[in-house]
Amino acid sequence: MQNSTYAPSTWLEMQANKIVISGKGIAGTAAANATTNIDLALTDDAFIKTIQLNVNNPNAGDNFDFQAIDKDNILGFGANFVVRQPITAWGLCATQDFMIYQIPVPNKAPAGLYLRLVYRNVSLLTPVQVGLNYDLLLPTV
């Protein structure tokens, strides 16, 4: 639903009859020795509950940011405005291929924003396969 009015302030205040659970996944390749953005467009208002990152063969020193961005200037602050960045330069080691981040409090992202992973691959030669799974709660009111 777009333009929803539902706005609980804690996860405990969430009411099952006012949300729909929706899992969304996206994958991409982080180029060698580069920074790569992997974006998921939100077509409905959404509360982001959990982010699961899966990485195939990360390199020691790889790191990432997680952002909610306004690519299309729907909020009026300019294209590619970073609305929130709850994760900054989260480091990975060569043996870490899985990470789950649970959002501590509900934050509603309006339809039209994008969820962005900014992945920095430090390898000079090897691209990294990246998968993201999002647990989203979509308001119905």
Question: CATH number for the domain including 23?
Answer: 2.60.120.730
pTM of the shown model: 0.91
In the 8-state DSSP scheme, what is residue 17? G
Residue 2 domain flag: no
Q: Check residue 106 and give its pLDDT.
A: 86
- For the cut 90, the answer to whether the pLDDT of residue 100 exceeds it is no
Question: How many domains does the structure of the chain reveal?
Answer: 1
Residue 59 domain flag: yes
Residue 6 domain flag: no
In the 8-state DSSP scheme, what is residue 16? G
Buried b (16+ CB within 10 A) or exposed e, 105-123: ebeebbbbbbbbbbbbbbb
pLDDT single digits (tens) 41-99: 999 999 999 999 999 989 999 999 999 999 999 999 999 999 999 999 999 888 777 78
Residue 1 domain flag: no
CA distance 135 to 89: 22
Could you tell me if residue 33 is left (phi over 0), alpha (psi between -120 and 50 degrees) or otherwise beta? left
- Mean pLDDT over each residue of the chain, to the nearest integer: 93
Residue 127 domain flag: yes
Residue 97 domain flag: yes
